[in-house]
Every structure is written in C-alpha cells, then in structure tokens.
Structure 1
Amino acid sequence: MSENTLVAQTICTREGHDFAKIFKFQFVLSKTPPETSESWRAYKVSDWTLQACPSLRVTPVLDSVGDLVGWFLGIGITAAGDAITQSLPLPAQQNADDFFDKAQDVIHGIAGRFAIILATPEKQRMYFDAALDQSVVYNADAGLIASSATLAAFGDLQTNPLFDRDAILNGHNYYAFEHTSDPRVERAFPNHYLDLKTFALPRVWPLAETPFDIMRARRNGLISRMERRLRQIMHGLLRNFDCCLPISGGHDSRLLLSYGKGELHNLSTAFSHATNHNTLVDSLIAANICKIFDVPHQVINVFGEEHKKQLERRKNMRRFNEFALRTGFEGGTRDRRAGLANALAPKHEVLIRGNLVGILSAQQYGRHLLDAPFNLNFALARLRIQDSWSEEDLNRWSARYLRWLNTLPKAAHSRAYDLAFLELVQPHALGALLNGSTNAYHVNPFNDRTLLHGSMRLRPRYRLSRKAIDTMQQNAAPELSVVPFTSDTKHVVMKALGKSPPWEDLKDLDILQQS
C-alpha cells in the first residue's frame, strides 16, 4: 500500500472489508483528496474537497445573495423549526465583516447531528453540533479532517500509548480530551470551531455573559420554552425524515415520544431490543406505551430461534471488528446479543435517540456533591480514562482537566460536571460510537443549545430530584402516568412470572397501574 493510503483503506484491503459498506455516513475533508470509494461524492468549497458517503446528507450553505459558502453535513432542525433539506441560508454576505458572527448565531440555533464547513476568501472554519454527536477528528500534519481516526491518517494505525486500547474496545474505558486511537489524530471539541487554516480550536460558547442559574420564579417559563423547542424538533424530524425510535422502560425515549405527539403517524417504526432480562422488561413497557399512543411496536428479540446462527462466535467477531473499524477503534462490545441487536436495528434514514436527555436529570452529579466544592477526583472518574491511577497518571490528567476547566468563563464553573459531560464525555462515549451503527443515521433531538443550556440553568438539586423531567413528561403526556418504569415493572414481572421469563410469557402481562 502507498504511504498516502488512508489507514481505513489499508485495513480494509488487508482484512477484506468493503470500504463503502464499512464507512457509511462518513466523510473526509482535505485539499488533496485521498483514495476513498468510487461511490463517494465530492463537494468543493474554496480549496477544500469534501468526500462523503452518499448516505450522509450534504446540503449547500448559501450566503444572503445565494452564493455557495460551504456545506452542511448531517441532519438539523433550525431555530425556526425548519428541517435543513435543500439549503441552509445565512443572513449575511460572505464579504461582510460580521459574516461569521451572524453565521454563528444561526448555527447555535440548530438542533441535531451535524458539522458545517464555511469558507470565504479570508477564513475557513468548521462548526459542530452542541455535543459533537457528528464525530469530527483532524490531523493537522496531514491536512485531513474526517469522521473517524482511520480516515484521518495514512499508512498503518499507530497506537496511542496513554490508553488501554483493549479496555476501550471492550467498552470499559474511553479516550479523553483531544485524544483518539491514533496519536497523529485529534478529536475536536463541541462549543468550539476548527480553524481550517491553523487547526486552532477557539471556544465560541459559553460566553462570559452566559447565565448558568435562574430564579425560582422564572423556572416554569424556562421549562415552557424547553417544551416548545423539544416539540418543535421532534415534529421537524418526524415530518421531514423517515424515522425510527427505539423505546425502553426509562424516561428518555418516553419523553421524546411524548413530544412527538401530533406527528407520530409519521413515525415509521417504534421498536425495542430484547437482549437480556432487563431489556425484555423494557420491551413490555414500550409495548404498553405504544399501545396508548396507537403506534405500532416491534420487538427485536435476539433470543429467537431465527437468530441463533447469528450468535456464533465467528459471526460475532466479524461484527465486532467491523464496528470497531467504523469507530476508528474507539469503541465496541464483546456482548454477542448487543452486537447482533445493533445489526438488526430497523433500516431508516434517521434513528431518534435520547441519550442527552440525561442532563435534564443531572446524571453527572451525586447527591453528596450538590453542596460541595468542585471535586477533581470525581470529575476525572466520570471520564472513565482508566480504572486505576498511578501518581504520574493522576498528575497528567489532573493538569489536562484543569486546563480545559480554565477555558470556561467563571460563571460556567458552577456547571463544570454538565459541561464536561457535553465536551469531554459525549464526543468519545457517544459521538465516536455512532459511527459504528449503519442501519440509520442516529440523531439526538435533545442535542440543541436551548435544551442543553436550559437544563443546565436548572439547579442540579432540582434536576436530580427528577422534578424537571417529570414536569415535562406530565405536561406532554399525562396519559402515560399509568405505565410504570423499569424498576417497578421488574417487581410485577417477578411476582407474576418468576425470574427471567421468555418474551412469549411476558408480552401479555398486565402492568398498567390503576389511577
């Protein structure tokens, strides 16, 4: 292989993978386009060439007189509730002094999973969604920006000596900060933009004047604005894209489905994965929720006899290796049933998921920390870099964390755990791993600055009590109050059917609570 062959191509050739099949929804941005796939499409802006899988939506970005100034990659819903499908118009001409300021205002109002390339004669930048769900990594020396590390370096994959790759591929740990599986490649940060001339990453949010608290008297008004925005995003997705939605027994998917009311007839598929006892219980809860909403529900039961051959070790290893390669070797799972469930997910344009809803419940906090000063050891543990720490490790990562913390304005320090979740955890624990799923393009409706910032403005104690999410849930769909959550349902199942009953026995069990 040539020294100018991407790591991805090197591995695909050596191991017999189909590059186009493996790297679905992915892209490379460069000034000298490398070899990718004949099926990939090329888009020019300034002296940059974007090469992208045809399954990845690429939409032109236009200035106020209709001139092309860039490309929008992915799925987005604007602040006005419009889906970005034909073009993304910006309110300034590219030669205006305030072009990037006005463009930034528009970008900050977009929900979804996306990256945006903007280029004028003077400046070239790349912007990202609020949690970097659309994975973006870069290799400054090679002049490559891409969706995964193996698409952003040439030759063979190099090993990052600061991390345990096997622990990461087994899902125990994550890369952190700018690090990826290859030391030549760095991951971008959300709330920054990438300067395509210098490869610097200036912070654009939060600003010094960004508030991170709210008076109790104004709390209901804030929640009402969040409710309107979540409904607007869900309706925008359901009206404009072929969507599926996985439903579990928890709060997140229930909330999203509830705010889709009025457009649920446009939902192509609601489904649940049954991979163990807990997810069988989730499937039962989901079936009851969907029945109330009159939404057809599908259970993908990997315990079924028809899937037995797909759980063989050889096929599982193939799935695992392909998933790892797609993610740039940043994640995977050895769990056979979970891997099969991912492969069996319905095939649609968009899969709506609810990971980021957890910020509304302050999942990054423990009750013992609510009134305590910032705890660096706790903050580092949340990153899951490694399981045990030497003094050298602790010093290295403590210093790196504090450098990141000091990029935040002072007012934001009171929400450091929340912002670390968005900027340090999510890009590795979710954004990188989303590349591994190719049956649909995964989009978080809660990946929106109105919703994320609004959640952070609510005090952690209030969120941790579940008052915020319960209020939003009750306001949207009070009829779901009769459907219990997972822990209560497990008790009902145990009492009625014993431990770990099969789906055939479980599916008709009455779990609804009398009001």
Structure 2
Amino acid sequence: MLEAQRLWPYRPRLFAKAFRYQYVVSRQVEQIHSFARRTCGQWHIHSGKDLPACTLHDAQGRQFGVLLGIAVGPAGLLSGPQQHLPLDSTAADFWNHLEAFITDTAGRFAIIAESGGQARFYTDPVAMIGAVYDPLARRVAASPLLALDRPVVPNPKVDLDNVENHGGKISLFHTADKHVRRLNPNCYLDLRTFREHRFWPREDDSLDAPADPVEIYDRIYAQASFNIGAIAAAHPTALPVTGGQDSRLLMTFAKPHAGRIRHYFSHINNYATRRDAAIGGILCQRLNLRHEPLDKRDFSLPEAEVEKRRSIYHLTTGAPMPPPLEHLNGTANGLPENTVILRGHQTDLLRAVFVTRPQGLWDVINWQIRKLLIVPSNMFGPETAALFRDDFTAWQQSLNTPARSKAVDFLFLEVYYSSTIGAVFPGLWQHFYMSPFNSRKLIALSLSFADKHRVESVPVFDIIERFAPQLSDVPFDFEAPADLDALHGCEGSYGPMTRARRLAAIKRLTRALPDQASQTRPEEEQPAAAAGTA
C-alpha cells in the first residue's frame, strides 16, 4: 500500500477524485483505487481516472512507451488509445530522435519509453505534470506520497512549519521526505539506475539573439496559437483574463481559436483582483467574448469543507502547503470540473522575470537562493544560504554551455518552477491546469531575445501589438488607474495610458520589417497619436 492510501481518511471515491491527475510508475503492480494500468517493458504505469494517457508506437507499429497528460506534438494533439510517432524504436539513434520530438512538444506531460534495453522517464520542460522519485523503492510518481510505500522520513533541510505558516517553498529538488527527490525536468531519469542525465539543451544548441526578431515573433505566435487550438478542440477549456502581460499574451495566441474556448474568467478575491477582472472584462469586450467574473462574494464553502480541502491538498502535494485561495473561498467552483485551464507560465521568460542582476553576478549564490523563496524574502539570511549552498552548486554545475549562458532563466525554469507549479498542479483536483507555451522549442525562442529587451517586456509588447492591436490598446495593470470608476470611465479613450508603449512597439516592428510596415496593422487601428490626433 502506498503512503497516500494509508494516510487517506476519506471514502475511496474521494481519493479517486483527489488524485485524478496523478500517476505512479513502478516495477510492480500497485493496487490503487480507480487508477488505470498500462505497461512499458517491465514497468507498470498507473494513472488517475482523468489523466489522459496513451501508448506510443513507432512508425512500424511497435510499442515503445506511454504518454501521460496533455501534449501537443509537431503534428497536433497526442491523444487517443495509441499514437504512432515518426520514429524507429530499434534504431541506434532512437533516443536522439525521441528527445528531438520531446523538445518540439508542448503541454503538461510525461513519457516513459523503452528501447535497446534502456528505460527512461521524461517530462515537460518544468515538470508541471509532477515528477518525484524514490531511488530506494524504484518508483516514480506525480507527488511524494504516491512514491512511498512507507512512512515519510523527515528531510532535515525542510522546515514544514515554514512551509505551512509562512509560505516557504520546498526547493532545489528536495521533498518533505529525506530520500524522495524531485526530478530536474530537463534531465531524463534512467530507470535502470535511477540517475538523472541532462538531455536539454544540447551542448550544440544556440540561444543567441535573432537577426530578425519579428521572424521569431511570428514563429512564437504560430506555434503557441497552434497549441491552444489543438487543446481547445479536444478538451473543455478555460482561459483566465487579467490585467497582466502573460494573460494578454495567451488571449493574443488564442484569438484565432477564440470560439473554441468555453470560458474566459477572472477570480475576484480582493481589490487587486477586482481591478484585474475589470481589465479582463474590457479585453473580452474587444474580442466580443463573454467574460465570467468569479467573485468570492458569490461563493461560499462551509468551514468543514474548507478544512477538508486543506487536508486533502496536504496529501495530494505531500506537504502542508496552503492551497490557492480560490480553492478555499469557492470561486474555483465557478468552472465545471475537469476543465482544462490554460495558464501563461513560461511566457514570463519573455519578460526575464528572474534576471534582476547583471550577468557578472550570476556566480554569486546567495541572491539566487533567496529568489527561490525557500523562506520569505524578509526571513532570508546566511543560515538559509549555507544550508542550500551545496544543492545550488550541484545544480549550477549540471548546466552545459548554452544553459549557462541563460543560467538565471534556467534557475527559474528548472528549480523554481519545478518546486512550485510542479508541486501544485498535480495536487489540484478540480481542474487540469497547464500552459500551452510549455515547450522547449518556445522556451528557446523566448530566451533568444537579449536580456535587456526581455527585462523591458519588449517581446511581449511587440507580439501583442503585431497580432492583437485591439488588445494592445487596453492598458495593462501597471498603466491603468487604481480607481475602478476611473478605469471604466476611460472606455474608448485609453490613448494617454497606452500611447507611448504602442508607438514604441510600432516603431520597432516597422524598423525590423520596413517592407512590411503596412502589414503591421490597418490604418484605423493605429494609436491616436500616430494618426495625428490627441
């Protein structure tokens, strides 16, 4: 019996729901209520009742693996009972070709594959599918308590009181258990040895700045839009809309498939999110979409239900982490269960959110450990830095040449994200959260822009201006007035708030593609100042 089962205090039917998006990979058959089972060589893959799964076959029809989760490959969504990939599982270079395929694949997924006597486990670029392993029991799972068949051995580097009461993160590949490790998502796990090996980026990959940024914008837009269209065509899908940059990028990418997405919504938990929802409503108006504000004042949960959700979340994540607010105040109930919710994670690489120091300071360790929020920033000190210095150094030394050139971004991708959304997403059971931007191909394109431009959100503003000027006209949260009445009173006259940003983007786009300047947008969509009016 797995530890998650042993500790479960509720009915089995609720276990099936709580762990509906999780999985276990082991050498033995596990008896897990409601989980389906598939095999890959000598490995048994057990998956929750609502986690998509399919067997993978090569071009000759030979089964070589199992895919878990939602993934969009170069040719479209990987779905159905089985998928045939353009690979030869008996070829000497099979693993190279499989890894190239994985690099081009987006979503929230894991792949278990076997060929030539080797068995490997791969995940999406930040392991938002959830990926931890117990090297002693030879078991991989979405969360720690599914990896264990014994009680948790406390990890001396993890302060659970800090996690529960101060929002601290369990980072640098640690879990609450001393022996269970979180997988670096850009390494594969060798299932023979249970050792990690980096497969991306390859040593000869380049993350250099593009000669033509607009060509990269077009590639990013085409790929991200393709991914959203494939997902929304197959699953009931929702998109959160706010005043932020990542949300607006998703709306821009989703525009050709807007009718396929069933819900455009905003959670309202406080004044800041109420303001977000107001901007989100304006954005939806621009595209003639129905906006659903999910206001906490319209939802309520009995205290017993709140405590039950908190207790279940501690089991599904394997740590006493506080659940997201919308799952405690009931606003998450505003969407149908088992909806795929598209999130903007990895689009924030276009803003270089972790690049807050110059490259000359990237070998200085303490400030980078602080950014991982192992303890709140105001509680960080030399003791925390010293405790995790060896873990940080070991990770840093695992970076190859191209990864080192973007080391702080890889800290964000591999360490911060795997310990946050990689722990949180599998633990949330009402909806399936994922990013359609979560592909190594899109990440590499995003990282190719110069750090100084990303820090200023130049790619974000340019992409939105190029492909959705009607959304670019609406102020972002940092541009809009704090007062909601003032924001609504500005409808149709946002020019003073957005003009400088928009004109700068148009100038960059025109300079980059002078022969296509007229294609940047129709004349009537130019900002007011560009047309000579106030």
Sort the Cα spacing of 1:355 and 1:331 in 2 relative to 1 into closer, same or farther, 3 A.
farther
Paired amino acid for 1:289 = L
CA apart distance, 1:495? 5.0
2:271 pairs with one of 271, 277, 280: 277
Q: 2:365 aligns to what?
A: 376
**1:385 and 2:374 are equivalent in the alignment:** yes
Query: CA deviation digits over 1:434-467, x for unaligned, max 9?
Result: 0232222111011011211111121111101111
**Residues 238, 260 of structure 1: 8 Å contact kept:** no
Q: Partners in 2 of 1:112 and 1:416 — Cα distance? A: 23
Q: 1:409 aligns to what?
A: 400
Query: CA deviation digits over 1:386-440, x for unaligned, max 9?
Result: 3445656433422221221111123432311100111001011111100232222
CA apart distance, 1:46? 1.1
Paired amino acid for 2:32 = T
Alignment map for 1:142-221 (pairs within 5 Å): 142-170=137-165, 172-215=167-210, 217-221=211-215
Q: Which runs of 5+ in 2 are unaligned?
A: 496-527, 529-534
1:250 pairs with one of 244, 251, 260: 244
Q: Partners in 1 of 2:467 and 2:14 — Cα distance? A: 45
**Residues 345, 438 of structure 2: 8 Å contact kept:** no
Q: 2:257 aligns to what?
A: 263
Q: 2:510 aligns to what?
A: none
Deviates more, 1:295-304 or 1:6-15: 6-15
Q: Partners in 2 of 1:263 and 1:28 — Cα distance? A: 34
1:481 pairs with one of 469, 472, 481: 472
CA apart distance, 1:339? 4.8
What TM-score do you get using the length of structure 2 for normalisation? 0.87
Secondary structure of 1:64's match? coil
CA apart distance, 1:485? 1.6
CA apart distance, 1:201? 0.6
Q: 1:471 aligns to what?
A: 462
Q: 1:19 aligns to what?
A: 15
Q: 1:298 aligns to what?
A: 292
CA apart distance, 1:27? 0.9
**Residues 194, 202 of structure 1: 8 Å contact kept:** yes
Secondary structure of 2:427's match? coil
CA apart distance, 1:117? 0.7
Q: Which runs of 5+ in 1 are unaligned?
A: 497-507
Query: CA deviation digits over 1:327-384, x for unaligned, max 9?
Result: 1226324858755333544434411111221111011022x53665543221111111
1:427 pairs with one of 408, 418, 435: 418
CA apart distance, 1:255? 0.9
Q: 1:77 aligns to what?
A: 72
Paired amino acid for 2:236 = D
Q: Partners in 2 of 1:97 and 1:249 — Cα distance? A: 50
Paired amino acid for 1:379 = Q
Deviates more, 1:370-379 or 1:431-440: 370-379
Q: 1:113 aligns to what?
A: 108
Paired amino acid for 1:6 = L
**Residues 158, 175 of structure 2: 8 Å contact kept:** no
Q: 2:226 aligns to what?
A: 232
Paired amino acid for 2:368 = A
Alignment map for 1:494-509 (pairs within 5 Å): none
Alignment map for 1:46-65 (pairs within 5 Å): 46-65=41-60
**1:35 and 2:21 are equivalent in the alignment:** no
Q: Partners in 1 of 2:484 and 2:232 — Cα distance? A: 33
CA apart distance, 1:93? 2.8
Secondary structure of 2:264's match? strand
Q: 1:504 aligns to what?
A: none
Q: Partners in 1 of 2:123 and 2:186 — Cα distance? A: 7
Q: Partners in 2 of 1:289 and 1:23 — Cα distance? A: 35
Q: 1:326 aligns to what?
A: 316
**Residues 320, 334 of structure 1: 8 Å contact kept:** no
Q: Partners in 1 of 2:284 and 2:134 — Cα distance? A: 46
Question: What is the aligned length?
Answer: 493
**Residues 246, 271 of structure 1: 8 Å contact kept:** yes
2:331 pairs with one of 336, 341, 345: 341
Q: Partners in 1 of 2:188 and 2:394 — Cα distance? A: 18
CA apart distance, 1:205? 1.1
Query: CA deviation digits over 1:71-103, x for unaligned, max 9?
Result: 100111112344444533233332221121211
What TM-score do you get using the length of structure 1 for normalisation? 0.90
Secondary structure of 2:418's match? helix
Sort the Cα spacing of 1:223 and 1:352 in 2 relative to 1 into closer, same or farther, 3 A.
same
Paired amino acid for 1:463 = R
Sort the Cα spacing of 1:289 and 1:390 in 2 relative to 1 into closer, same or farther, 3 A.
closer
Q: Partners in 2 of 1:492 and 1:143 — Cα distance? A: 56
Deviates more, 1:319-328 or 1:142-151: 319-328
**1:288 and 2:282 are equivalent in the alignment:** yes
Q: Partners in 2 of 1:13 and 1:314 — Cα distance? A: 14
**Residues 264, 292 of structure 2: 8 Å contact kept:** yes
**Residues 83, 240 of structure 1: 8 Å contact kept:** no
Sort the Cα spacing of 1:336 and 1:61 in 2 relative to 1 into closer, same or farther, 3 A.
closer
Q: 1:241 aligns to what?
A: 235
Paired amino acid for 1:426 = Y
Alignment map for 1:99-138 (pairs within 5 Å): 99-120=94-115, 122-138=117-133
Q: Partners in 2 of 1:17 and 1:86 — Cα distance? A: 25
Q: Partners in 2 of 1:407 and 1:252 — Cα distance? A: 29
Sort the Cα spacing of 1:259 and 1:495 in 2 relative to 1 into closer, same or farther, 3 A.
closer
Paired amino acid for 2:366 = N
Paired amino acid for 2:449 = L
CA apart distance, 1:65? 0.8
Secondary structure of 1:405's match? helix
